């Protein structure tokens, strides 16, 4: 039965548009607990205090789903075929289309519904970047790739432009072999290219120095002066470490209609962004990841890029 349910779940995931599906045994993450504790003690989460919360839930799936037996990891490609106007403020590729939380949550709910139709009234919860789940660890444990020096999950066939979703369930399944090899080798392109020196040796990323942190997570209205001239025109997020990664030469355009880029994101000029009103911002970007920074945050970021 385990083998049968596993095959069906992977088939359902493919039908729902997920590009990869891997399954790992639910268990306490000893090594990750130590690593996360060290990272937090060094203050590398900056003002992201929420990362200090629910520590026990992050490292123990049974605290999220009582009796958890399996962690299903799903990857959804977001790499776009379209490119932004090269002379405008840069926006991370994951934010070109509809908010991925909305898109993936629907898919996870549908997957859970299909599993229950086949396996009975099992218990489970789906997560996408909004709960205390160490999704990259589970992706590696389920054989989907390795964690690169830039902290991203890298899939050997398709690179790293993926959203990661997690479904924890008390259904016992057949588990995939973990991905044990690290194919980054001696390459340091991501470390060398990071303009704020956020990528440290030993696969440690100082979140408090990352451009994505400053342009999205930082809620204060002032970005530190010592970051002046280092953002390389990134207004929302940053893709530098992924753009320079050799493994992303294998990236292919996504097939998700919900991720079709908002035309303004591709075509707005700097002048268009400067003249954007709050009313227009809400109308155009309310269902995109840009809404996370809100209008004042986008204006702050834009002014920071412009200022000498």
Ordered DSSP codes for 56-113: HHHH-HHHHSTT--EEEEEEEE---S----TTS-EE-GGGSSS-HHHHHHHHHHHHHH
Mean pLDDT for the chain overall: 90
Apex 160 CA angle, 159 and 164, nearest 5? 130
- Which residue has 């690593």 as its token pair? 35
Amino acid 133: pLDDT = 72
Lowest mean pLDDT among 50-54, 148-152, 295-299: 50-54
Are 162 and 19 in contact by the 8 Å Cβ rule? The answer is: yes
**DSSP H or E run through 298:** helix 294-306
pLDDT at position 40: 57
Q: What is the pLDDT of residues 25-58, one digit of tens each?
A: 999 776 665 565 565 566 654 555 554 454 456 6
Cα–Cα–Cα angle for 208, 97, 89, nearest 5°? 55
190-231 tens-digit pLDDT = 999 999 999 998 788 888 899 999 999 888 878 999 999 999
What pLDDT does 62 receive?
84
Rounded CA-CA distance 291/208 in Å is 21
Would you give the DSSP letter of residue 21?
A: E
**Are the C-beta atoms of 80 and 92 separated by less than 8 Å?**
no
Question: Domain spans of the chain?
Answer: 1-308
Model confidence at 93, pLDDT cuts 50, 70, 90, reads very high
* pLDDT band per the 50, 70, 90 thresholds, residue 281: very high
pLDDT value at 77 more than 80: yes
Does residue 94 surpass a pLDDT of 70? yes
What is the band of 134 on the pLDDT scale with cuts at 50, 70, 90? confident
**Which regions of the chain does DSSP assign to beta strands (E)?**
20-25, 70-77, 90-91, 124-127, 146-147, 153-154, 162-169, 199-200, 204-205, 234-236
138 or 129, higher pLDDT = 138
Cα–Cα distance for residue pair 306/108, rounded to 1 Å? 41
- Cβ-proximal residues to 96 (8 Å cutoff; 6+ apart), any chain: 78, 80, 82, 259, 261, 262, 265, 266, 288
What are the two backbone dihedrals, phi and then psi, of residue 291, each rounded to the nearest 5 degrees?
A: -65, -20
Active site residue ranges: 129
Number of helices and strands in the chain (H, E): 13, 10
Q: Which residue has the higher pLDDT, 1 or 198?
A: 198
What does the pLDDT read at residue 178?
Answer: 97
Best CA proximity match to 141, nearest among 167, 98, 179: 179
- Here the tokens at position 224 are 């530190």
Range 97-126 average pLDDT: 94
Mean pLDDT across the stretch 162-187?
96
List the one residue out of 135, 157, 131, 158 whose CA is nearest residue 147. Answer: 135
* Predicted local confidence at residue 60, as pLDDT: 81
Stretch 276-281: mean pLDDT: 97
């Amino acid at each position: 039965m385990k083998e049968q349910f596993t095959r069906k779940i992977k088939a359902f995931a493919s039908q729902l548009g997920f590009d990869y599906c891997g399954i790992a045994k639910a268990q306490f993450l000893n090594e990750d607990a130590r690593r996360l504790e060290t990272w937090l003690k060094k203050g590398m989460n900056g003002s992201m205090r929420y990362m200090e919360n629910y520590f026990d839930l992050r490292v123990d799936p049974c605290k999220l789903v009582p009796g958890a037996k399996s962690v299903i990891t799903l990857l959804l490609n977001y790499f776009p075929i379209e490119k932004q106007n090269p002379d405008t403020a840069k926006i991370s590729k994951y934010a070109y289309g509809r908010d991925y939380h909305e898109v993936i949550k629907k898919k996870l709910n549908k997957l859970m519904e299909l599993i229950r139709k086949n396996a009975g009234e099992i218990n489970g919860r789906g997560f996408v970047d909004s709960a205390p789940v160490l999704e990259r660890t589970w992706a590696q444990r389920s054989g989907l790739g390795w964690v690169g020096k830039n902290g991203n999950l890298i899939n050997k066939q398709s690179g790293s432009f993926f959203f990661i979703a997690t479904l924890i369930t008390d259904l016992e399944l057949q588990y995939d072999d973990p991905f044990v090899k690290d194919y980054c080798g001696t390459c340091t392109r991501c470390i060398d290219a990071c303009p704020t020196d956020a990528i440290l040796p030993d696969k440690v990323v100082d979140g408090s120095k990352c451009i994505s942190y400053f342009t999205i997570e930082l809620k204060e209205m002032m970005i530190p002066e010592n970051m002046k001239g280092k953002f390389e025109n990134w207004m929302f997020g940053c893709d530098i470490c992924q753009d320079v990664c050799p493994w992303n030469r294998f990236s292919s355009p996504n097939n998700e209609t919900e991720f079709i880029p908002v035309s303004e994101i591709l075509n707005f000029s700097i002048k268009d962004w400067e003249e954007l009103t709050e009313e227009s911002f809400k109308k155009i970007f309310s269902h995109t990841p840009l809404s996370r920074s809100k209008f004042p945050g986008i204006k702050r970021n834009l002014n920071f890029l412009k200022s000498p």
